[in-house]
Amino acid sequence: EVRLVESGGGLVQPGRSLRLSCAASGFTFEDYAMHWVRQPPGKGLEWVSGISWSSGSIDYADSVRGRFTISRDNDKNSLFLQMNSLRPEDTALYYCVKVRKSFKLLKDDAFDLWGQGSMVTVSS
């Protein structure tokens, strides 16, 4: 079965750090670029970051650049998101997402497999 399973979420104080993990199975992980997309409670979707198969290309949303770091381990079929200097506005369900067609970060690709999400709550 093709699936993505996120973990590592929880309640954290403002200014602290958290690391999300995503375990991929059922497909050749290294053949695809991967992304993180988040959704605040009751609100819409926001793209966070993307990474190519080799980690040679990485993109970040302006809202997280300089605070979040995306990485991957192809040997372990895993995607990560290191989140530092967390703010209340980072509170959201974080989805691990696979692209449809490429190992590169392409602007004509699409997000075709989503995990169930890991909830991050930033509050004192």
Please calculate the CA angle 91-103-52 and round it to the nearest 5 degrees.
45
The distance of Cα 82 from the centroid of its chain, to the nearest Å, equals 9
> What character string, x for contact with other proteins (CB under 8 A) and - otherwise, covers 83-112?
------------x----x------xx-xxx
The minimum distance between CB 21 and other proteins, in angstroms, equals 17
**Interatomic CA distance for residues 103 and 34, integer angstroms:** 8
Shortest Å, Cβ 43 to other proteins? 8
What would the x/- binding string for other proteins be over residues 26 to 65, using CB under 8 A? ---------x-x------xxxx--x--------xxxx---
Determine, following the binding rule CB under 8 A, whether residue 8 of this chain makes contact with other proteins.
no
Single out the residue of 115, 118, 120, 122 in contact with other proteins (rule: CB under 8 A): 115
* C-alpha separations of 84 from 15, 56, 93, 102, 108 in Å: 7, 22, 16, 29, 30
Round to whole Å and give the CA distance between 79 and 77. 7
Chain residues in the site for other proteins (CB under 8 A): 35, 37, 44-47, 50, 59-62, 95, 100, 107-108, 110-112, 114-117
